[in-house]
Amino acid sequence: MNLTVIDHPLARHYLTILRDENTQPEAFRSAARSLTYALVLEATKALPVDEVDVTTPMEQTTGHRIHDVVAIAVLRAGLGMLDAVLDMIPGCKVGFAGVQRDESTATPMEYYAKLPDLANATVLVLEPMLATGGSLSWAVEKAKSSGAKDITALCVVTAPEGVARMGEEHEDVPIIAAALDRDLNDKWYIQPGLGDMGDRLFGTL
């Protein structure tokens, strides 16, 4: 399986806030940001670094710097994870992949895509809800067609159906998530899930 579910008390704490139907948008956005920090740490454990010389107040030593990281936010819910990525990787370039789900068929429909150069970059695709896998698979394919070779997906909650689809269509892409939930309902929403993340982030319920 290409899925890693992080196991950390703080991740479980913030995920619970996100799941709670009484959490209001301001607190929801804050919890999403805090949870994303944990996802980014796990996703970047093998991030390539360059050795550099650095002079401390005491002496010269060897340090390390990262380079060429791109975050692709899948609109619109992926925006709830983006600030945390930029907090931790300020030099990160940002791309956007606009896709919405046809509610009658659950198939993704593209409406916008703007990506920087991905050829030599480590790419983090931010897709909080991995339900059927259609949107994430489409975004990953978009990144690959733009030259990306090193791609990791960051998700908040996942469903077995979406994880299986990603394993079939993009087995080379690891998924870092806070939870693997039970299943999808008849409207393709994750159960127990946390509802519509975009609506809850931006108060458009």
- How many Å from the N-terminal Cα to the C-terminal Cα in the chain? 34
Angstrom distance (rounded) from CA 195 to CA 64: 40
Reply yes or no on whether 186 is catalytic.
Answer: no
* DSSP at 173: S
**Does 20 participate in catalysis according to the annotation?**
no
Q: Which one of 105, 117, 172, 183 is the catalytic residue?
A: 105
Q: Classify the C-alpha dihedral 40-133-150-180 as positive or negative.
A: positive
Q: Which of 199, 162, 156, 172 is nearest to 5 (CA)?
A: 156
105 has catalytic annotation = yes
DSSP string across 78-142: THHHHHHHHHH-TT-EEEEEEEEE-TTT--EEEEEEE----TT-EEEEE-SEESSSHHHHHHHHH
* Distances from the Cα of 18 to the Cα of 6, 74, 101, 194, angstroms: 16, 19, 22, 6
Question: Is the bond into 108 cis (omega within 30 degrees of 0)?
Answer: no
- CA dist 177 and 193 (Å) reads 13
Per the annotation, the verdict on 56 as an active-site residue is no
Active site residues: 101, 105, 196, 199
